[in-house]
Amino acid sequence: MSLVLHENLSLQPYNTFGVDVRARLFAEARSDAEVYEALSVATARGLPLLVIGGGSNLLLTRDVEALVVRMATRGIRILADDGEKVLLEAEAGEPWHPLVLWALEQGLGGLENLSLIPGTVGAAPMQNIGAYGVELKDVFAGLTALDRQTGELREFALQDCQFAYRDSLFKREAGRWLILRVRFNLSRAPRLHLDYGPVRQRLQSEGIDAPTPMDVSRAICAIRSEKLPDPAVLGNAGSFFKNPLVPAELAQRLRGEYQDLVAYPQADGQVKLAAGWLIERAGWKGFREGDAGVHRLQALVLVNYGSATGSQLHGLAQRIRADIVKRFGVELEMEPNLI
């Protein structure tokens, strides 16, 4: 067996909150063969299998009585290139932002608005990651996943994935599909998405009138670095709550009470509210209780100042959710997966 197993291993280095819990068993899968080995080991030992990537979308509240497998497969390859359109494939364990940079260095556009998002390639479709006007589904070409129920491989096209706002089939059927590799439609003649005001403003402030995809990536990296704390310095999982979708009537009522309400009408008639605005307006920005807190510059980010437990962070999140319901009548949904 090539899979290396570790018993009672701390997962602190493997989750960006830096929560110190232990895994009954831990292994890193560096190939499809080791993924299959992990499935066999879990079955033989009667343990659940928990698959993680970069640990940037996890809130661990207790020791994990499972075989925790970190996807560490690597590889980036161009499958097709007609001189303009390019089909790119990456293994699930590839870190996301280095993949974006690799594509940009090859002159390939499409991923630039998704720069500096933490995590791995395999986790990106789970959440249908998105930022600054672009979602993964906008550049998605397909993926290969292992059906843990049957042991068979399946190819997924765009329509099969049921992508929605921070959602997908893979998230709704958590525990069934293990994503092995993902494909992207990129272009050597990209169409830039500059609708997000701060991105355009950043480029204009730097005197860039005809930006390239690399220029857009650099601008977004600068904006994200100013808004969001580095998990290597301050434990966090990025945006902790989804921006809620509410009926237009509720949004209209709230705007009558709060003229500075941040709201975005949607094509289906609903309105997307800025969760960060709601949390800040409720007075939680900068709140700290022990080592669990809300970031002082970004109300959407919960942080671990050192030794906060997952339960403490979850408790704080629940208090914020209850307060937002009481004040605004709006339900907030967590983005990280709760273990």
pLDDT tens-digit readout, 282-297: 999 999 999 999 999 9
Where does the pLDDT of residue 234 fall: very low under 50, low under 70, confident under 90, or very high at 90 and above? very high
Instruction: Give the mean model confidence (pLDDT) for residues 75-86.
Output: 96
Helices (H), 7-105: 32-45, 96-105
Architecture (CATH level 2) of domain 6-71:
2-Layer Sandwich (3.30)
3-state SS assignment for residue 219 = helix
CATH topology for the 235-338 domain: 3.90.78
Which residue, among 104, 113, 97, 100, has the nearest Cα to 195 in the 3D structure? 113
Please pick, among 166, 183, 202, 224, the residue that the annotation labels catalytic. 166
* pLDDT at residue 333, rounded to an integer: 95
- pLDDT at residue 204 greater than cutoff 90: no
- pLDDT at residue 1 greater than cutoff 70: no
Architecture (CATH level 2) of domain 76-227:
2-Layer Sandwich (3.30)
Q: Using one digit for the tens of pLDDT, what is the confidence trace for 16-43?
A: 999 999 999 999 999 999 999 999 999 9
Cβ proximity of 324 and 279 under 8 Å: yes
Q: Using one digit for the tens of pLDDT, what is the confidence trace for 113-161?
A: 999 999 999 999 999 999 998 999 999 999 999 999 899 999 999 999 9
3-state SS assignment for residue 222 = helix
* pLDDT at residue 145, rounded to an integer: 98
Same fold, 6-71 and 76-227: no
First to last CA, the chain: 29
Cβ proximity of 155 and 142 under 8 Å: yes
Please pick, among 37, 89, 94, 335, the residue that the annotation labels catalytic. 335
* pLDDT at residue 78, rounded to an integer: 98
Q: Using one digit for the tens of pLDDT, what is the confidence trace for 187-199?
A: 999 889 988 778 8
Q: Is 239 a catalytic residue?
A: yes
DSSP lists the bridge partners of residue 269 as none
Instruction: Give the mean model confidence (pLDDT) for residues 316-338.
Output: 96
Cβ proximity of 213 and 283 under 8 Å: no
Instruction: Give the mean model confidence (pLDDT) for residues 259-274.
Output: 92
Per-domain residue ranges for the chain?
Answer: 6-71, 76-227, 235-338
Q: Is 205 a catalytic residue?
A: no
What's the CA gap between 95 and 92, in Å, rounded? 8
Q: Is 335 a catalytic residue?
A: yes
